[in-house]
Amino acid sequence: MPSLTLLGQAVVSGLLAGGIYALLALGLSLSWGLLRLVNLAHFALALLGAYLTYQLGTALHVPPWAAALAIVPAFFLLGLAFHAVFAYFRVSEFGSLLVTFGVAVILESLIQWFWTADYRRYETAYATASARVGPLYVPTLELLACLTAAGLALATWAWLRFTYVGKALRASAEDPVIAAAFGVNHRRQAFLLSGVSAAYAGIAGAFIALISTLAPSQIWAWVGVVFAVVIIGGLANPIGALLAGLLVGVSESVTMAVVAPAWAPLVSFSLLILILILRPGRV
Amino acid sequence: MSASGIRVALGLPAAGLALAALAVAGLPAFYESFLYLIFSWVALATSWSFLSGYAGYFSFGHGAFFGAGMYTTAALTTMFELPFLATLPLAGALAAALAAGIGAVVFRVRRLRGELFGLLTLAVGFVLATIVLNTPIDGGPGVYLSGVPLPRLLASPTGTLYLLGLGLAVATVGTAYAISHSRLGLGLYAIHDDEDVAELKGVPTLAYKLMAFALSAGIAGVAGGIHAMYVSYVTVGETFSITVPLYVVLMSVLGGARHWLGPAVGATLIASSLYVFTGGQQAVLGRALVALVLILVILLLPEGIVPAALARWRRWRPRPVEVLAPPAVAPAAVAPAGALGCHDVWRAFGGIQALRGVSLSVEPGEILGLVGPNGSGKTTLINVISGYYPADRGRVTLGAETLTARPAHEIARLGVGRTHQIPRPFAHFTALDNVALAATFGPGRVSPRQARAEAREWLAFTGLGRRAAARPDELNLHERKFLELARALAGRPRVILLDEVLSGLNPAEVASAIRLIQQIRERGVAILFVEHLMRAVLELSDRVVVLNEGEVIAAGAPREAMRAPRVVEVYLGKAHVA
């Protein structure tokens, strides 16, 4: 049994890692739950955002926050364009999985073409900064990512819950025909949501660039865990995605500390399967 | 066997033998390897389509079963020194058992359809990879098979693997043809379109899904076993990469996942085009190109290349429209089995008590009208009798048989037929095939060929003789309602539950439907007739039962029951009770 300090450190790093999962899960959960689009390209988009942040930072010395300011609106527009294609061809829920897989592969190839398959690391002065709370270390950047995830989740929740657009989106997801009969213009809001979801990928990307080592194949490493987070959290439920992200992050990190690092990938799927069998009505 | 069946039964082995002869005559090793890879992909993509193409349960777990096969062969040949060929059936059996186990858990969750099943199966690969990596099966460094002796089917090792791959590919495509033209295939196609209705028409959906899943995984396992020998160095990273599960999906969807030959065509196209771009930056470009093709195909040809080509061919050589003559007498039916009885049936949905101790009986040759205001529990009762919902309490019997607690497909086979208030035809089936499916899986248990013959008679009987080749989306509401009726009749029911078959029909259509129902009754079928159209209820019913809020409030001869004070009160309000 590891010491209490080690366990506490595991919980802290789990919470912080969970923040990144939640950040990635947010956009995915929105588009799956409200647009019925299973967007595999979301991961590729996030990684592209990370590489762009890296490129701007290392080649042009643009600070990461400025890079994010440019990337996020650009991704918003990309999300709009993406949705235009889906709307034009009336892609089904399953078709969307295949099409976005294709997009993900193309983006992966693109990344590999420009930046090669070698690992890239964005070195910054503050990358290793961390705060000390008692015996525990809290890396500043990861804390910032986690807080951003929490802030975005709360804002998104309030947006869906209290604004007209949010309510209209939820109504359309529930029953598009009835919602349209009540005057909801689903097409316009679907574009907006698609853009927002892509913008979230951009935000996630900026943090990924700062926190982790980059490689094109990273796209596929996230798929399983983040989908587990989305399903555990409940579709189109931002707070659920946040909590599920933290839950999965902590479970993984505690497993690493208590059992062995290599067994960590099993955790999220065991959680997912348990939840699906015990609460099959969640999705 | 049909003409196309004979063509396939002769053509497929002939093509296999020709390709085998090529290797015996001495093919350069490069081509043997290249073709082996194509064969391997053909076997994988085709076997994937058994569950995922035909029944529509997209699995991303094919790589896991393939990997299970690879590691079975790798572990058994190196750790236990079993001969290579002996490990292949074991590799297949282990993968099949794994799929059956997963299916037995996952398929019980009713709402677990589509993309959720896909993501769960995706997880299987990650789980398996983690287990293999952390146990002595691999442990991290990978397994070398270079020391394992390869049986000499041909002089060269590549030739031997070529023959094994070829054999598996031909056998798999043959199996695909056999399944898609069998009772199993018919049931799987029906599951794809509407699983609930398939079950209600007598398709044992759980058993069929498990069979298709296990068979598909088993073939992937054997393919993995052979592939372990081909690569001769097995690692977790390569084996359980995302490549296999995703390429298999792409190949099948590109070629046409619902057609027996589609996945093989897709696999050949993609595997060859991948081979053109090998090595370095070119491989990156090739991958992007394949992805682009995938996107275009999904957007422009969502059904796949083979079905699209077949549809074009048929348009080019249109066949004359078949007109079926109405039969002189109604087609044969199964002998009556006794009365349908509901004994104190209860059913609640959450806090709403939909049925409160309903008891009624319908004799053979009798029409029992079941009426009541909306929400009184009429459709719920039909759903409980047909086994769609289990009853909370009480019993449903047919003659001496108890129906409660049986799965819906067994109830259908015992002779309970039903219609749906809103017609739910199988969208990809023609009208004829819709009816033939019910005949195949109904109590008659006739062969698919006999079922089609009977289906023609039922279509003619219900006045759809001209529409046999039409798809459901080409039918109007009245035709869909009659198709629903033909489908219920084709199962040769002893009892038929009619859920508002007349609603939405015009007076002439109502009159012909009433004549039809009278003809059905004359054959000794017990009919439970749910209807709002009072004229038809009074004209047709021998007796009437009135439901309100899940309770029987009146029963008896039609006119008397409808005049009972409680019934008038429920329908018109208290003021009108004279």
A95 contacts in chain B (CB < 8 Å)? 298, 302
Residue B348 makes CB contacts below 8 A (sequence gap 6+) with: B354, B392
Task: For residue A109, give how far its alpha carbon lies from the nearest alpha carbon of chain B (Å).
Answer: 5
| Mean per-residue pLDDT of chain B | 86
Identify the band that residue B302 occupies on the pLDDT scale cut at 50, 70 and 90.
Answer: confident
CA–CA dist B454, B442 (Å, integer)? 12
Domain that holds residue B124: 28-241
Domain that holds residue A162: 4-282
Tokens 């349960």 belong to: B57
Q: Is residue B533 part of a domain?
A: yes
Residue A242, SS3 per DSSP: helix
- In chain A, pLDDT over 90 holds for what percent of residues? 31
The verdict on B237 and B357 lying in the same domain is no
CA–CA dist B109, B563 (Å, integer)? 46
Q: Is residue B82 part of a domain?
A: yes
What tens digit of pLDDT does each residue of A198-250 get?
999 999 999 998 888 888 888 877 887 888 888 888 888 899 999 999 999 99
b or e along B512-546 (b: 16 or more beta carbons within 10 Å of the residue's beta carbon)? ebbebbeebbebbbbbbbbbebeebbebbbbbbbb
Asked if A262's CB is within 8 angstroms of B291's CB, the reply is no
Q: What pLDDT does A8 receive? A: 87
Which of B67, B86, B65 has the alpha carbon at shortest distance from B76? B86
Please check the confidence at residue B577 and state whether its pLDDT lies above 80. Answer: no
Q: Is residue B4 part of a domain?
A: no
A42 contacts in chain B (CB < 8 Å)? none
Q: Which amino acid is at A44?
A: A
A29 contacts in chain B (CB < 8 Å)? none
Q: Which residue has the higher pLDDT, B326 or B538?
A: B538
Please check the confidence at residue B211 and state whether its pLDDT lies above 90. Answer: yes
Last residue of a domain, one of B241, B264, B297: B241
* B274, containing H or E segment: helix B262-276
Looking at residue B423, the DSSP 8-state letter turns out to be -
Structure tokens at B488: 């219920």
Nearest to A105 among B112, B253, B287 (CB): B287
Structure tokens at A138: 């809290």
Task: For residue B301, give how far its alpha carbon lies from the nearest alpha carbon of chain A (Å).
Answer: 11
Q: Is residue B313 part of a domain?
A: no
What tens digit of pLDDT does each residue of A113-140 get?
888 878 888 887 777 777 787 788 888 8
Q: What pLDDT does A64 receive? A: 84
Asked if B292's CB is within 8 angstroms of A102's CB, the reply is yes
What tens digit of pLDDT does each residue of B355-379 get?
999 999 999 989 999 998 888 889 9
Mean pLDDT check: name the lowest of B66-75, B328-337, B459-468: B328-337
Question: What CATH number does the domain containing A85 carry?
Answer: 1.10.3470
* B553, containing H or E segment: strand B551-556
Please check the confidence at residue B397 and state whether its pLDDT lies above 60. Answer: yes
What tens digit of pLDDT does each residue of B212-224 get?
999 999 999 999 9
CA–CA dist B70, B66 (Å, integer)? 6
Q: What pLDDT does A156 receive? A: 92
Q: What pLDDT does B315 receive? A: 77
- In chain B, pLDDT over 90 holds for what percent of residues? 39
A104 contacts in chain B (CB < 8 Å)? 291
In A99-118, the residues whose Cβ lies within 8 Å of chain B are 99, 101-106, 108-110, 112-113
What was the ipTM of the complex prediction? 0.84
Q: Are A117 and A47 in contact (CB under 8 A)?
A: no
The verdict on B433 and B554 lying in the same domain is yes
**Mean pLDDT: which of A142-151, B62-71, B342-351 is highest?**
B62-71
Q: What pLDDT does B323 receive? A: 62
User: Chain B residue closest to A261 (CA)?
Assistant: B134
The verdict on B225 and B344 lying in the same domain is no
Q: What is the CB neighbour count within 10 angstroms for residue B86? A: 11
Last residue of a domain, one of B241, B268, B298: B241
Phi-psi region of B499 (alpha: psi -120 to 50; beta: other; left: phi over 0): beta
CA–CA dist B526, B13 (Å, integer)? 51
Q: Which residue has the higher pLDDT, A131 or A44?
A: A44
Asked if B127's CB is within 8 angstroms of A105's CB, the reply is no
User: Chain A residue closest to B140 (CA)?
Assistant: A262
The verdict on B32 and B170 lying in the same domain is yes
Please check the confidence at residue B40 and state whether its pLDDT lies above 70. Answer: yes
B127 contacts in chain A (CB < 8 Å)? 265-266, 269
Q: Does A87 touch chain B (CB under 8 A)?
A: no
Looking at residue B146, the DSSP 8-state letter turns out to be T
| Strands (E) located in chain A | 130-133, 136-139
Question: What CATH number does the domain containing B396 carry?
Answer: 3.40.50.300
Q: Is residue B58 part of a domain?
A: yes
Which of B74, B126, B91 has the alpha carbon at shortest distance from B233? B74
User: Chain B residue closest to A97 (CA)?
Assistant: B115
Q: Are B44 and B66 in contact (CB under 8 A)?
A: yes
Last residue of a domain, one of B241, B268, B283: B241
| Mean per-residue pLDDT of chain A | 86
Identify the band that residue B327 occupies on the pLDDT scale cut at 50, 70 and 90.
Answer: low
CA–CA dist B464, B523 (Å, integer)? 21
Q: What pLDDT does B1 receive? A: 54
Asked if A223's CB is within 8 angstroms of B122's CB, the reply is yes
Q: Is residue B535 part of a domain?
A: yes
Structure tokens at A192: 């907006």
CA–CA dist A155, B327 (Å, integer)? 68
Number of domains within chain B: 2
Across A152-163, average pLDDT: 92
User: Chain B residue closest to A226 (CA)?
Assistant: B119
B266 contacts in chain A (CB < 8 Å)? none
B115 contacts in chain A (CB < 8 Å)? 38, 93-94, 97
The CA-atom distances, in angstroms, between B223 and each of B81, B163, B220, B473 are: 20, 12, 5, 40
Task: For residue B80, give how far its alpha carbon lies from the nearest alpha carbon of chain A (Å).
Answer: 26
Q: What pLDDT does B138 receive? A: 81
Phi-psi region of B348 (alpha: psi -120 to 50; beta: other; left: phi over 0): beta
Q: Which amino acid is at A224?
A: G
Q: Does A77 touch chain B (CB under 8 A)?
A: no
Q: What pLDDT does B143 receive? A: 87
Q: What pLDDT does A281 receive? A: 56
Q: State how beta strands B352-362 and B340-349 pair.
A: antiparallel
Structure tokens at B76: 């058994």
Cα angle value B128/A39/B239 (rounded, 5°): 25
Number of domains within chain A: 1
Q: State how beta strands B340-349 and B393-398 pair.
A: antiparallel
Query: A202: burial class by Cβ within 10 Å (0-12, 13-18, 19+)?
Result: buried
Q: Does A84 touch chain B (CB under 8 A)?
A: no
Helix, strand, coil percentages (3-state) for chain A, rounded to 5, are 80, 5, 15
Q: Does A221 touch chain B (CB under 8 A)?
A: no
Structure tokens at A233: 């959290």
The verdict on B232 and B370 lying in the same domain is no
Which of B411, B348, B385 has the alpha carbon at shortest distance from B550? B348
| Strands (E) located in B202-271 | 233-234
* A48, containing H or E segment: helix A41-59
Task: For residue B21, give how far its alpha carbon lies from the nearest alpha carbon of chain A (Å).
Answer: 38
The verdict on B222 and B101 lying in the same domain is yes
Residue of A109, A230, A255, A274 to mutate, interface with B, max B Cβ within 10 Å:
A109
Identify the band that residue B325 occupies on the pLDDT scale cut at 50, 70 and 90.
Answer: low
CA–CA dist B148, B229 (Å, integer)? 8
What tens digit of pLDDT does each residue of B103-140 get?
887 887 765 566 678 777 877 888 888 888 888 888 77
Q: What pLDDT does A1 receive? A: 56
